[in-house]
Structure 1
Amino acid sequence: MKHFTKLAIAAALGTVMGTATVAQELYTPNLAYRTGPFAATGIPLMNGQADYMTLLNERDGGIGGAKIDFEECETGYSTEKGVECYEKTKGKAIVTQPWSTGITLQVLPKTNVDQIPILAPGYGFSPMADGKVFQWAFNVPSGYWDAADMIVQYLEQDGSLEGKKIAFLHLDHPYGKEPLPLLEKLAGEKGFELLPIPVGLKEMQNQSAQWLQIRRERPDNVVMWGWGAMNAGAITEAVKTKYPMENFIGVWWAGHDADLKLVGDDGKGYKSISWSFPNQDAPVMKELKERVFDAGLSQSNAEEMQGVFYGRGVVMSMILSEAIQGAQKNFGTTEIDASQLRWGLENLNITEERLEELGMAGMVPPFSTSCANHTGHSGGWMLEWDGSKFVKASDLLKPNTDSYADLIASAASEYATANAPWAMNEECSATN
């Protein structure tokens, strides 16, 4: 197993700079939500993220000789508090990790002025894929429109969708509405009826009205864009109303083990598209247990560490650490700034070989980014609940990004026009 240890990275940097310099810290704050209505899903994600950074600090002395300050600023998933956290942390941050799509949309114009990269793994505004327009925003390794496209692809494996009805059960929030433009486009192209069914924030735990509508409409499939308590509420209602679980598919934020454990065997067949997988045999998971959990440096627990969301948090911090390391090597400095990290995020190359070196094989599909491509479009796997855990139910699915490239471009252009004057990366073309 190859690992980039503190000494190895310092030596590499020393070759570039003529001498190895050691920075004191890299400030990478996380706008966390361990409290509020979404805490049940936020906690394992935050724990996975924090534990991976703790592993790097403990095992390698940080990244390139610089310790990582992974301070959390609690938002409770509140957009208002999220903006406050952004303003509080932006002074010395090299990145902002806003979490909710609502917070992302609010800080997006600010980061373009403040020149701080947004890292929003698998969430946020889908047109952020256009790196020329959104030069400071990254939603790697896969975006919401990618997820919607892959779900439709998966449904098509059973035959044409012509004449079928697909209910879209979604949180009535910017996050829940995010895939609608592409789903509406796909409905028109493929001939299925799209039935949007919103769930208000106050209805998450009592969805009787929504599931009454589903029983009445009898859709061929239900696609869920849920989060937090909404997911558990929907899954419980589906079981209660005897909706066929094999026809029920969620986005990656609706694939949380704890939600399905509430119904156990009754949830068999429920699926969730996912760009990550909790590979318990991955060497990094063993190291996290030995160096972080067993050492008393984690807020997690043994059961949580086996779940999808904890593993996804680990992958998220790996993506950030790889961008930091790439920037350090390119610029010949350990203590990189926000602009240099942006370069690192634009030049990610997460190959199968690199995942092996990191001890993370099978935990995320390979992907790469560029100045024009800030999402990576890694694709993902369809995961299925087997009664006790999520297992892979498909080979790797890849989004048909060419089919909605025009939609990304037009939405990005509309955003820039609406927020004029909007600074773009004029040196970036569609091919680089």
Structure 2
Amino acid sequence: MKHFTKLAVAAAIAGVTAGAAMAQELYAPNLAYRTGPFAATGIPLMNGQADYLTMLNARDGGVGGVPVNGEECETGYSTEKGVECYEKTKSKAIVTQPWSTGITLQVLPKTNVDEIPILAPGYGFSPMMDGKTFQWAFNTPSGYWDAADMIIQYIEGQGDLNGKKIAFLHLDHPFGKEPLPVLEAAAEAKGFTLLPIPVGLKEMQNQSAQWLQVRRERPDYVVMWGWGAMNAGAITEAVKTKFPMENMLGVWWSGHDADLAIVGEAGKGYKSISWSFPNMDAPVMADIKKHVIDAGLSQTNDVEMQGVFYSRGLVISAILVEGITAAQAEFGTAEISAEQLRWGLENINLTEERIAELGLDGMVPPFSTSCSNHTGHSGGWMLEWDGAKFVKVSDLLKPNVEGYAALAAEKAAEYAEANAPWAVNENCGG
């Protein structure tokens, strides 16, 4: 694994300055969703992603002297539209960013043929952690099975789970079903009852039936795997039914400030695992303000910028750029190809020192990737709503990856067999 300091990167790119001067751009399209039922969560994420790239283009002339084009193709979170966007953008893309587990599952077999890496930070098909099988797919820095494991770890830290009941309130969508294998295995191993409660897409804003079941079953904890309008609906119902908020925990996509702001002080105690955290004092925020906000080049606002999702968007683009930077240094060219970016994404080494160099202090945990490890398993912090904002209430939690490594290998093999012939990276030894 390589550690790329600013000096090392500068030296590597210096040799290709002439080529970079002729280069047009690095095309990194984003299958965005600023419209539809999930727009409230999509907008701050897309704004954060766009602002980071805009800042780099303005401050540094892009990456290695080449501007990055993060053009958005609007999907409205529709799988069908997402596939259309993929087909529309793939001819010159060095990466695809599907932004939906459903879209990811649809484009996954296509990218293996088209040889374009998928970057799906913190979402997508969990067995993508197996880089040998899913050589073109990355769900860095942490996957859904990591999240499920860390949430159960945190709950277990509050007391023995044997005999307890945990309700799993989830969107009835591929995204919501992803953690079930790990949660079911944990329930069997630790002796608690898992109660799945699905929420249909048409029920997101009216969950009266689901919360009637919660009141009837009286679970010790509610784990929420929600997205978009489902989150606000669930949190509002939890407050209304007087469910103890300190016993309600969500995945990182269920930790959106605006959803909790609706209930304010009444939501105090609600928790969400997260691999990102907003730090307004981080140097990157000053650069964003100088080169993007003050220049009138952003769609964000002061409130949104302080939230978890905007800063997560920044981190996601930073991860992409780390992959680009690694590839440029390795291949001695600024205008890299999709295949070269795949190598770059397999060789990210985001140490504490590198995080500080990027000005992302405290905003993402350290992690590294390899040809066999396409997730990184960074771990995350448990965040808690204090009535006005999310604060960290745990040290860095690390997932017990060994606990589901065999399951990941099994599911990866099943996928490859079902989609045969399926190309794997035979040269990947670790």
Q: TM-score, normalised by structure 2?
A: 0.97
Q: What CA deviation, in whole Å up to 9, does each residue of 1:28-56 have, x standing for no partner?
A: 00000000000000000000000000000
Match of 2:92 in 1: 92
Match of 2:165 in 1: 165
1:27 aligns to 2:65 (yes or no) = no
Match of 2:82 in 1: 82
1:294 aligns to 2:294 (yes or no) = yes
Q: How does 1:361-400 map to 2 (within 5 A)?
A: 361-400=361-400
Match of 2:47 in 1: 47
Unaligned runs of 5+ in 2: none
- For 2:333, give the aligned amino acid: T
CA distance in 1, matches of 2:391, 2:257: 11
1:195 aligns to 2:195 (yes or no) = yes
Q: Could you tell me how far 1:287 is from its partner in structure 2? A: 1.3
- For 2:69, give the aligned amino acid: D
Q: How does 1:32-431 map to 2 (within 5 A)?
A: 32-429=32-429
**What SS is found at the alignment partner of 2:12?**
helix
Q: Is the contact between residue 3 and residue 358 of structure 1 (CA under 8 Å) also seen in structure 2?
A: no
- For 2:260, give the aligned amino acid: L
Q: Could you tell me how far 1:158 is from its partner in structure 2? A: 1.4
CA distance in 1, matches of 2:293, 2:79: 32
Q: What CA deviation, in whole Å up to 9, does each residue of 1:283-328 have, x standing for no partner?
A: 1012111210111000100110000000000000000001001100
CA distance in 1, matches of 2:365, 2:106: 30
CA distance in 2, matches of 1:333, 1:181: 42
CA distance in 2, matches of 1:41, 1:13: 37
CA distance in 1, matches of 2:398, 2:11: 38
CA distance in 2, matches of 1:21, 1:289: 27
CA distance in 1, matches of 2:209, 2:17: 67
Q: Could you tell me how far 1:19 is from its partner in structure 2? A: 5.6
Q: What CA deviation, in whole Å up to 9, does each residue of 1:73-123 have, x standing for no partner?
A: 000000000000000000000000000000000000000000000000000
* Residues 1:18 and 1:390: Cα distance change in structure 2 (over 3 Å): closer
**What SS is found at the alignment partner of 2:273?**
strand
Q: What CA deviation, in whole Å up to 9, does each residue of 1:342-400 have, x standing for no partner?
A: 00000000000001011101100000000000000000000000000000010000000
Q: Is the contact between residue 327 and residue 336 of structure 2 (CA under 8 Å) also seen in structure 1?
A: yes
Q: Is the contact between residue 162 and residue 190 of structure 1 (CA under 8 Å) also seen in structure 2?
A: yes
Q: Is the contact between residue 126 and residue 144 of structure 1 (CA under 8 Å) also seen in structure 2?
A: yes
Q: Is the contact between residue 14 and residue 20 of structure 1 (CA under 8 Å) also seen in structure 2?
A: no
- For 1:369, give the aligned amino acid: T
CA distance in 2, matches of 1:19, 1:104: 37
- For 1:298, give the aligned amino acid: S
* Residues 1:245 and 1:262: Cα distance change in structure 2 (over 3 Å): same
Q: Is the contact between residue 13 and residue 20 of structure 1 (CA under 8 Å) also seen in structure 2?
A: no
**What SS is found at the alignment partner of 2:20?**
coil
Q: Is the contact between residue 10 and residue 20 of structure 1 (CA under 8 Å) also seen in structure 2?
A: no
CA distance in 1, matches of 2:17, 2:128: 38
CA distance in 2, matches of 1:317, 1:4: 17
Unaligned runs of 5+ in 1: none
- For 1:32, give the aligned amino acid: A
CA distance in 1, matches of 2:362, 2:336: 30
CA distance in 2, matches of 1:371, 1:12: 22
Q: Is the contact between residue 260 and residue 267 of structure 2 (CA under 8 Å) also seen in structure 1?
A: yes
CA distance in 2, matches of 1:229, 1:99: 16
CA distance in 1, matches of 2:338, 2:402: 31
Q: What CA deviation, in whole Å up to 9, does each residue of 1:187-234 have, x standing for no partner?
A: 111110000000000000000000000000000000000000000000
Q: Is the contact between residue 20 and residue 64 of structure 2 (CA under 8 Å) also seen in structure 1?
A: no
Q: Could you tell me how far 1:134 is from its partner in structure 2? A: 0.1
Q: Is the contact between residue 171 and residue 177 of structure 1 (CA under 8 Å) also seen in structure 2?
A: yes
- For 1:238, give the aligned amino acid: A
Q: Could you tell me how far 1:14 is from its partner in structure 2? A: 2.9
* Residues 1:292 and 1:225: Cα distance change in structure 2 (over 3 Å): same
CA distance in 2, matches of 1:10, 1:65: 10
**What SS is found at the alignment partner of 1:196?**
strand
**What SS is found at the alignment partner of 2:150?**
helix
CA distance in 1, matches of 2:374, 2:143: 10
* Residues 1:18 and 1:292: Cα distance change in structure 2 (over 3 Å): closer
Q: Could you tell me how far 1:182 is from its partner in structure 2? A: 0.7
Q: Is the contact between residue 38 and residue 77 of structure 1 (CA under 8 Å) also seen in structure 2?
A: yes
Q: What CA deviation, in whole Å up to 9, does each residue of 1:231-282 have, x standing for no partner?
A: 0000000000000000000000000000000000000000000000001111
Q: TM-score, normalised by structure 1?
A: 0.97
Aligned-residue RMSD, C-alpha: 1.4
CA distance in 1, matches of 2:385, 2:335: 43
Q: Could you tell me how far 1:20 is from its partner in structure 2? A: 5.7
Q: Could you tell me how far 1:148 is from its partner in structure 2? A: 0.1
CA distance in 1, matches of 2:17, 2:69: 27
Q: Could you tell me how far 1:21 is from its partner in structure 2? A: 3.4
CA distance in 1, matches of 2:323, 2:9: 14
* Residues 1:276 and 1:194: Cα distance change in structure 2 (over 3 Å): same
CA distance in 2, matches of 1:197, 1:70: 37
CA distance in 2, matches of 1:42, 1:124: 16
- For 2:94, give the aligned amino acid: I
CA distance in 1, matches of 2:331, 2:311: 31
